[in-house]
A = this chain, B = another copy of it.
Amino acid sequence: MVKQLQKRTLETRARLVAVATDLVAEQGYAALRTEEVVKRAGVAKGTFFAHFKDKDALMDILIGTAIDRQLDQMAQKAAPETVADLVALHAPLLTVMTQERYVFDVILRLSGAAAIAEIGVIATTFERYHRLATRWFETGHFRRDIDAELQAEGLQAFLTQAMALHFCALHRSQPMAQRMQLYLQAWLQPNV
């Protein structure tokens, strides 16, 4: 039912990803062209699309991997006990996700799995992030009137909002971290 993959297949695929990684390092994500990738990898155009459903599928791997590395770092750290800690903890993740407008757009597009069958890397990292955040909130350092999962979903909502406004000309003046602080203070430590 499952794999019957030849060694060649894995090699080609790995080469494509490696070449793409190099190209991104050189020119950024938005400038990546599939034709450039296949040329450097020494394969035909069709081969690319035999390995990846579309260009987004490659981006999913590249960007998802980068996000996952940040989550590795974050998972190492102790659970944050204050909003300031929580915001500080997110700094590197925010940097990765907002390094280019194009990257943020891809993340938004792929962060939810379109179908159960095709959960990509980015969607998987979002699940992972959700679990990680839920664990932080289960320590009980923040609100207690709602469960940890809901707190985590709100965190994600505000994270997205802060990043979106970062790219908005009308709001770019305020730094992302400061906005996060404001949001999360109100979300996690309401004072009614």
Any B CB within 8 A of the CB of A164: yes
Q: A156 contacts which chain B residues (CB < 8 A)? A: 161
Do residues B145 and A157 form an inter-chain contact, with CB atoms below 8 A?
no
Any B CB within 8 A of the CB of A25: no
Q: A154 contacts which chain B residues (CB < 8 A)? A: 158, 183, 186-187
Any B CB within 8 A of the CB of A160: yes
Given pairs A114-B169, A146-B186, A150-B182, 20 additional interface contacts (CB within 8 A): A105-B109, A108-B108, A112-B170, A112-B171, A113-B170, A114-B167, A115-B169, A116-B169, A116-B170, A119-B169, A123-B170, A143-B192, A145-B192, A153-B183, A154-B158, A154-B187, A157-B183, A160-B161, A190-B190, A190-B192
Interface of chain A residues 160 through 192 with chain B (CB within 8 A)? 160-161, 164-165, 167-171, 182-183, 186-187, 190-192
Q: Which residues of A contact B (CB under 8 A)?
A: 101, 105, 108-109, 111-116, 119, 123, 127, 143-146, 150, 153-154, 156-158, 160-161, 164-165, 167-171, 182-183, 186-187, 190-192
28 cross-chain CB contacts under 8 A: A105-B108, A105-B109, A108-B108, A108-B164, A111-B168, A112-B164, A112-B167, A112-B169, A112-B171, A113-B168, A114-B167, A114-B168, A123-B168, A123-B170, A145-B186, A145-B190, A145-B191, A146-B186, A146-B190, A153-B161, A154-B158, A154-B186, A154-B187, A156-B161, A157-B183, A160-B164, A187-B187, A190-B190
Q: A190 contacts which chain B residues (CB < 8 A)? A: 143, 145-146, 190, 192
Q: A158 contacts which chain B residues (CB < 8 A)? A: 154, 157
Closest to A159 in B: B157
Q: A183 contacts which chain B residues (CB < 8 A)? A: 150, 153-154, 157
